[in-house]
Chain A
Amino acid sequence: MEAILTDCVRNSLQQLMHRNAIFMCERLCAEFPSEKNMQLLASCYLQNNQAHCAYHILKGTHMPQCRYLFALSCFQMDLMNEAEAALSPNESSTEVPNGAAGHYLLGLVYRYTDRRQSAINHFNQALSLDPLLWAAYEELCILGAAEEATSVFDEGASLCIQKQYMHRGLASQSLHAPTEEHDIASTRILGTEDVSPRKLKHVHGNNLRDINGTTSNQPMNGGPTSLPFYNTPSPMAAQSQFSGVAPPPVCRNAQQNGPSMRTYGADNSPRVAVNSAVAGPRRKFVDEGKLRKVSERLFSDSGQRRSMRLAGESVSTNSNVSLVSGNGTSHSSKYLGASKSSSVASRSLTIRKGQSWASENADEGIHHDAYDDSRLNITSSSLSPSADNRSLEPEGATRSSSAIVLSSSRVIDGASDILGLLRLFGEGFRLSCLCRCQDALDIYVKLPQKHYSTGWVLSQVGKAYFEMVDYLEADRAFSLARIASPYSLEGMDIYSTVLYHLKEDMKLSYLAQELISTDRLAPQSWCAMGNCYSLQKDHETALKNFQRAVQLNSRFAYAHTLCGHEYVALEDFENGIKSYQSALRIDTRHYNAWYGLGMIYLRQEKFEFSEHHFRMAFLINPLSSVIMSYLGTALHALKRNNEALEMMERAVLADKKNPLPLYQKANILVSVGNLDGALAVLEELKEYAPCESSVYALMGSIYKRQNMYDKAMLHFGLALDLKPSATDVAAIKAAIEKLHVPDEIEDSL
Chain B
Amino acid sequence: MAESSEGEEEGKLTGGNQQLVVDDDLREMGKKAAWSVSSCKPGNGVASLRDDNLDTYWQSDGAQPHLVNIQFQKKVKLQLVVVYVDFKLDESYTPSKVSIRAGDGFHNLKEIKAVELAKPTGWMYISLSGSDPRETFVNTFMLQIAVLSNHLNGRDTHVRQIKVYGPRPNPIPHQPFQFTSTEFITYSTLR
Interface residues, chain A, with chain B CB atoms under 8 Å away: 469, 471, 497, 500-503, 537, 562, 565, 569, 571, 592, 595, 599, 602-603, 624-627, 629, 633, 637, 657-660, 663, 667, 688-689, 691-694, 697-698, 701, 719, 722-731, 733-734, 737, 749
B153 interface contact, C-beta 8 A: no
Contact (Cβ within 8 A) B187 A625 = yes
Return chain A residues, CB-CB under 8 Å to B77: 727
Q: Are B184 and A726 in contact (CB under 8 A)?
A: no
For the complex, what is the distance from the CA of A663 to the CA of B110, rounded to whole Å? 42
Q: Are A503 and B182 within 8 A (Cβ)?
A: yes
CA–CA, A719 and B178, complex, Å: 11
**Contact among A627, A693, A722 with B190 in the assembled complex (CB-CB below 8 Å):** A627
Q: Identify 12 new A-B residue pairs, CB closer than 8 A, beyond the known A694-B176, A725-B167, A726-B137.
A: A502-B186, A569-B171, A592-B190, A626-B187, A660-B187, A692-B183, A692-B184, A693-B180, A694-B175, A694-B178, A722-B181, A727-B178
Known: A562-B191, A592-B191, A730-B134. A724 touches B177 (CB 8 A): yes
What chain A residues lie within 8 Å of B106 (beta carbons)?
Answer: none
On chain A, the residues within 8 Å of B168 by CB distance are 725
Can you list the 6 inter-chain pairs with the closest CB atoms, starting with the nearest? A694-B177, A733-B133, A692-B181, A603-B173, A658-B187, A730-B136
Question: Is B133 a contact of A724 with CB atoms below 8 Å?
Answer: no
Smallest CB separation, B169 vs chain A (Å): 8
B18 at interface by CB-CB < 8 Å: no
Q: A497-B191, A737-B134 are in contact. Are A633 and B177 (CB under 8 A)?
A: no
- B133 near A749 (CB under 8 angstroms)? yes
- Distance in Å: Cβ of B45 to nearest Cβ of chain A: 23
- Chain A residue at minimal CB-CB distance from B191: A497
Residues of chain A with a CB closer than 8 A to B23's CB: 726
> If the complex has contacts A562-B191, A730-B133, are A697 and B177 also in contact, measured as CB distance less than 8 A?
yes
27 contacts between A and B (CB under 8 A): A469-B187, A497-B191, A502-B186, A592-B190, A592-B191, A626-B187, A626-B190, A633-B174, A637-B174, A658-B187, A659-B184, A660-B187, A667-B176, A688-B183, A689-B184, A692-B183, A694-B178, A698-B177, A719-B177, A722-B180, A725-B167, A726-B136, A727-B77, A727-B137, A727-B170, A728-B177, A729-B133
> In whole angstroms, how far apart are the Cα atoms of A471 and B171 in the complex?
20
Contact present for B190 and A724 (CB under 8 Å): no
Contact A501 B177 (CB under 8 A): no
Are B167 and A726 in contact, CB atoms less than 8 angstroms apart? yes
Docked Cα-Cα span, A569 to B186, in Å, equals 16
With both chains docked as a complex, state the minimum distance between the C-beta of A556 and any C-beta of chain B, in angstroms: 15
A640 to chain B, nearest CB (A): 15
- What is the minimal beta-carbon distance from A656 to any residue of chain B, in angstroms? 11
Name B25's contact: one of A599, A625, A725, A737 (CB within 8 Å). A725
Q: Give chain B's interface residue range (CB within 8 Å of chain A).
A: 20 to 34
The residue that A660 contacts in the complex, of B134, B167, B173, B188, with Cβ under 8 A, is B188
B189 interface contact, C-beta 8 A: yes
Distance A723 CA – B177 CA, assembled complex (angstroms): 12
User: In the assembled complex, how far is the CB of residue B107 from the closest CB belonging to chain A, in whole angstroms?
Assistant: 28
Q: What B residues does A624 contact at CB under 8 A?
A: 190
Report A345 CB to chain B, min CB distance, Å: 56
Determine the chain A residues whose CB is within 8 A of the CB of B183 once the complex forms: 657, 659, 688-689, 692
Q: Known: A537-B24, A749-B133. Contact between A692 and B179, CB under 8 A?
A: yes
Decide if B79 is an interface residue (CB 8 Å cutoff).
yes
Q: How far is B191's CA from A592's CA once the two chains are assembled, in angstroms?
A: 6
Which residues from A are CB-within-8-Å of B167?
725-727
**A595 and B180: CB pair below 8 A?**
no
Decide: A626 and B176 in contact? CB cutoff 8 A.
no
Select from chain B the residue with minimum beta-carbon distance to A561: B191
Expressed in whole angstroms, the Cα–Cα distance for A626 and B185 within the complex equals: 11
In the bound assembly, the distance between CA atoms of A701 and B176 in angstroms comes to 10
Chain B contacts of A626 at CB under 8 A? 187-190
Kindly state the separation between the CA atoms of A562 and B190 in the bound complex, as whole angstroms: 11
Q: Are B133 and A602 in contact (CB under 8 A)?
A: no
Find chain A residues with CB under 8 A from B174 CB: 602, 633, 637
Assembled-state Cα–Cα distance A703/B171 (Å) = 26
Contact among B26, B170, B187, B191 with A565 in the assembled complex (CB-CB below 8 Å) = B191
Tell me, in angstroms, the Cα distance from A692 to B188 when the chains sit together: 13
Name which residue of chain A comes closest to B79, CB basis: A726
Which B residues between 128 and 153 are near A, CB-CB below 8 angstroms? 133-134, 136-137
Nearest-neighbour CB distance to chain A for B25, whole angstroms, equals 5
**Residue-by-residue, is B10-35 near A (CB-CB < 8 Å gives 1, otherwise 0)?**
00000000000001111100000000
Residues of B contacting A625 in the complex (Cβ-Cβ under 8 angstroms): 187
B residues 1-60 in Cβ contact with A at 8 Å: 23-27
B contact residues around A749 at 8 Å (CB): 133
Instruction: Give min CB distance, A544 to chain B, whole Å.
Output: 14
> What separation, in Å, do the CA atoms of A497 and B189 have in the docked complex?
11
Chain B proximity of A328: nearest CB distance (Å): 44
Contacts of B182 in A (CB 8 A): 503
From residue B133, how far is it (CB to closest CB) to chain A in Å? 4
Instruction: Note all chain B residues with C-beta closer than 8 A to A728.
Output: 177-178
A720 nearest in chain B by CB position: B133
A660 touches B191 (CB 8 A): no
Closest Cβ–Cβ distance, residue A179 to chain B (whole Å): 33
B190 → chain A closest CB, angstroms = 5
Interface hub of B24, B26, B77, B175 (most chain A Cβ within 10 A): B175
Other-chain contact of A500, B133, B187, B191 (Cβ < 8 Å) = B191
What 1/0 flags go to B101-144 for Cβ under 8 Å of A?
Answer: 00000000000000000000000000000000110110000000
Please name all residues of chain B whose beta carbon is closer than 8 Å to the beta carbon of A698 when the two chains form the complex: 176-177
Residue of B nearest to A503 (CB): B182
Nearest-CB distance from A404 to chain B (Å)? 54
Give residues of chain B (68-86) contacting chain A, Cβ–Cβ below 8 Å. Answer: 77, 79
- Chain B residues within 8 Å of A697, by CB: 176-177
CA distance A657 to B181 in the complex (A): 13
Give the distance in Å from the alpha carbon of A729 to the alpha carbon of B186 in the complex.
22
A700 closest partner in B (C-beta): B177
Contacts of B189 in A (CB 8 A): 626
Q: Which residue from chain B places its CB closest to the CB of A727 in the assembled complex?
A: B167
Q: Is B137 in contact with A692, judged by CB distance below 8 angstroms?
A: no
**A733 surroundings in chain B (CB, below 8 A):** 133-134
Q: Which residues of B contact A633 (CB under 8 A)?
A: 174
Q: How far is the CA of A663 from the CA of B175 in the complex (A)?
A: 10
Nearest CB of chain B from residue A238's CB, rounded to whole Å: 47
Contact of A659 among B136, B170, B187 (CB under 8 A): B187
| B181 engages A689 (CB within 8 Å) | yes
The smallest C-beta distance from B184 to any residue of chain A, in angstroms, reads: 5
Determine the chain B residues whose CB is within 8 A of the CB of A659 once the complex forms.
Answer: 183-184, 187
For the complex formed, measure the closest distance between the CB of A82 and the CB atoms of chain B, giving whole angstroms.
37
Decide: B178 and A724 in contact? CB cutoff 8 A.
yes
Q: Establish whether residues A730 and B137, one from each chain, have CB atoms under 8 Å apart when the complex forms.
A: yes
Q: Report B119 CB to chain A, min CB distance, Å.
A: 31
A627–B191 alpha-carbon span in the complex (Å): 11
User: Which residues from A are CB-within-8-Å of B24?
Assistant: 537
Q: How many angstroms between the C-alpha atoms of A693 and B190 in the bound complex? A: 22
Shortest CB-to-CB span from A605 to chain B, Å, is: 8
Known contacts A602-B174, A726-B79; A734/B186 CB under 8 A: no
Residues of A close to B171: CB separation below 8 A: 569
- Bound Cα distance from A733 to B135, whole angstroms: 10
> A154 CA to B174 CA in the complex, in Å?
51
A562: which B residues are within 8 A, CB to CB? Answer: 191
Q: In the complex, how many angstroms separate the beta carbon of B87 from the nearest chain A beta carbon?
A: 30
Instruction: Kindly report which residue of chain B lies nearest to residue A594, judged by CB atoms.
Output: B190
Once A562-B191, A734-B133, A734-B134 are accepted as A-B contacts, the answer to whether A501 and B176 lie under 8 Å apart by CB is no
B135 CB to closest chain A CB, in angstroms? 8
In the bound complex, what is the Cα–Cα distance between A728 and B180 (angstroms)?
Answer: 11
Known: A500-B191, A726-B79. A599 touches B173 (CB 8 A): yes
Q: How far is the CA of A731 from the CA of B134 in the complex (A)?
A: 7
When C-beta atoms are compared, the residue in chain A nearest to B23 turns out to be A726
* Smallest CB gap from B176: residue in A: A698
Kindly list chain A residues whose C-beta atoms are within 8 Å of the C-beta of B134: 730, 733-734, 737
Whether A501 lies near B191 (C-beta < 8 A) is yes
The answer on a CB contact under 8 Å between B180 and A723 is yes
